[in-house]
Amino acid sequence: MATTATAEARKKRIRRSPAEARALILKAAQTRLKAVGPEGLQIKEIAAIAGVTHSTILHHFGSAEDLRVSLAENMVEKLLDDILAVMDTGDTVFPEDHSVLFRVFEVLCDDGNARLLAWTMLRGADLRAGEDTLMALFDKIHAGVVQAIKAAAGDMVVKDDVADRHARFIIYLVATTAVGDGIAGPYLARLIGLDEMEATKDFRDWFAARLF
Amino acid sequence: MATTATAEARKKRIRRSPAEARALILKAAQTRLKAVGPEGLQIKEIAAIAGVTHSTILHHFGSAEDLRVSLAENMVEKLLDDILAVMDTGDTVFPEDHSVLFRVFEVLCDDGNARLLAWTMLRGADLRAGEDTLMALFDKIHAGVVQAIKAAAGDMVVKDDVADRHARFIIYLVATTAVGDGIAGPYLARLIGLDEMEATKDFRDWFAARLF
DNA sequence: TATCTTATAAACAGTAATGTTGATAACTAT
DNA sequence: ATAGTTATCAACATTACTGTTTATAAGATA
């Protein structure tokens, strides 16, 4: 009988290391979050996706709320790692098409990263998670942007503190735009009569052209 | 005894019109949403803030989810009204300091409006609410921006379709930046070493200067 | 004033979420 | 092998959130 078969099949357990189990569960939680938005992030649903019971989640995370906190932290950390990884793939920091900055942009706003980030922000989380990674990332980007500013100025001499401030504004602008684009992009694009597909690319080119 | 006093005090009922009751409840819901983020938007909490029982909410809105939908719609409508109101206060659409566009910016990103908007977006709501208001608003802004672009060009002749496209990009940029700023602004500002108070103003000036 | 409507509330009911317990199977170490 | 550890699960318990019913008081209308 089917019931007997499943009953016997059920006996098999996969025993993971705590780290593996946590990672598996966090991934499932992220999947669920992308799928259904801020509400509906319940441990039973997550457990179903991860292929475990909800008590396993409670075992590893303590409580449902603790899982959410861990998820928020984990997502910020992974996002930063992704951006760092992307930055290391280019040979020079700023090729003529500003591609590194825009690869960062893409990581931020594509694939729902900005929405997940927004969820994190909206929760009012501490966001002290990955503060050091963040600082390292910022320093790296900042140095590159300063360099690009001086290059763009050509012969003209740019004072260090001016370039520094300018670079900070540029980074701030790109970051906020990326977040806003990721969250409200599709909606705004429709409203404004930019039909997503081509216009997105055009917009980014236009944006890049007036950054420096 | 205190219990007797409250028991007697409880007898007094405030009887509101349906419109008043709905408005009161929606305001409480918004307050709660600002305070606690996407979760914790439960009708009992909202009822407590509004000073009614949760069954009153159910009476007026039908269900908890219906309240959330109404809230999302209501917020978008109010936001648009605010922006429209702000736009009508200036005599010309684009004075030299671009103040109207930035008053719009402020409405969008200040006082948690962007966070509420983000919540709305994250819910995956239709957002068809206020679509016509939105279009009217967009047309108004768009016309102003086109005008400003041509003014900025001075003697040079700007083709209509070029100005139109340019204007759309500018509006898109301002809107996405405003949303991103409202959501991630405080966090990013700290990270980037712009200490909120003064730098915010400076950033907006810098931003305005390179828009046209 | 009398009647009707309905906004409100209290108590109850149902459901869906989280959390708890005890047993067991899958590893590790001795 | 054997013992010890613990990740896992099923069943149960509990909380909390939503929804229902019934009664009542505040107005409106006549």
For the domain made up of B14-62, give the CATH fold: Arc Repressor Mutant, subunit A (1.10.10)
Nearest by Cα to A94 from A136, A137, A145: A145
A10 Cβ under 8 Å from any chain B Cβ? no
Average pLDDT score over chain B: 80
pLDDT for residue B119: 83
Under the banding of pLDDT at 50, 70 and 90, the label for residue B7 is: very low
What percent of chain B stands above pLDDT 90?
A: 27
Q: What are the structure tokens assigned to A126, written together?
A: 């501490």
Chain centroid to Cα A74, Å, comes to: 10
Per-run averaged pLDDT (10 residues), chain A, 212 residues: 42 91 97 82 96 98 95 87 72 51 72 78 71 82 85 85 90 89 83 75 83 76
Residues A177 and A148: their CA atoms lie apart, in Å, by: 20
**The model's pTM:** 0.83
Nearest by Cα to A29 from A17, A41, A19: A41
Q: What is the pLDDT of residues B125-174, one digit of tens each?
A: 666 667 777 888 888 888 888 888 888 888 888 899 999 998 999 989 98
Where do the domains of chain A lie?
Answer: 11-62, 69-212
| Residue A56 CB in 7 A reach of strand D | yes
Beta strands in B58-212, from DSSP E residues, in sequence order: none
Give residues 40-99 of chain B lying near strand D (Cβ < 7 A).
42-45, 54-55, 58, 63-65
**pLDDT higher at B73 or A194:** B73
Give A112's DSSP letter.
G
Q: What is the pLDDT of residues B101-136, one digit of tens each?
A: 677 777 777 667 777 888 888 777 666 667 777 888
The CATH H-level (homologous superfamily) assignment of domain A11-62 is Homeodomain-like (1.10.10.60)
Which residue shows structure tokens 């590194």?
A100
A174-202 b/e with 16+ CB inside 10 Å = b? bbbbbbbbbbbbebbbebbebeeeebbee
| Statement: residue B27 has pLDDT above 90 | yes
Residues B36 and B42: their CA atoms lie apart, in Å, by: 11
The 3-state DSSP class for residue A194 equals coil
| Residue B10 CB in 7 A reach of strand D | no
Distance, in angstroms, between B61 CA and closest chain A CA?
19
CB atoms within 10 A of CB A113: 21
